[in-house]
Amino acid sequence: MSKLVKRAVLLASGFALAQGAVSVAAQDATATIKRDSEAAKRLDEPSFQTREERLKSKPLDWNTTIGKPKRKAMTAAERKALEAAKPESHEGGQPNAKADEEARKMHPEEWKDQK
């Protein structure tokens, strides 16, 4: 298998794992209620019109609102691709040939003494 294919498999599996965790967390504790529906009319909305009502209100518990994500088990192919992957880095590209020209246009006051 070529290095490019291995990288593509690794990237795709990482992306799939991230998407799966997000969708599982969203599916478990999400409920949508339209404003004009009967369910919305039955909800008792808190009133925050006075200072006392605002002081009595409790802050949202972040952990209960977001839920807990569940880990998705990796398939054998994903695990094998992850184990076979090697960390690599790439060489930098060529420097911008027009960098000085652009810098002179954008910052002429700093280039006055240099010719």
HEC per residue, 36-85: CCHHHHHCCCCCCCCHHHHHHCCCCCHHHHHCCCCCCCCCHHHHHHHHHC
pLDDT value, residue 61: 78
Residue 6 belongs to what H/E stretch?
helix 3-29
Predicted pLDDT of residue 19: 62
The Cα-based distances of 62 to 3, 46, 47, 66, 105 in angstroms read: 42, 19, 21, 6, 50
Three-class SS of residue 35?
coil
In tens, the pLDDT along 43-76 reads: 777 667 788 888 888 887 777 777 777 888 999 9
Q: Which of 1-15, 17-31, 70-84 is predicted most confidently?
A: 70-84
pTM for the structure as a whole: 0.23
**DSSP assigned state of 98:** T
> Cβ(83)–Cβ(22) under 8 Å?
no
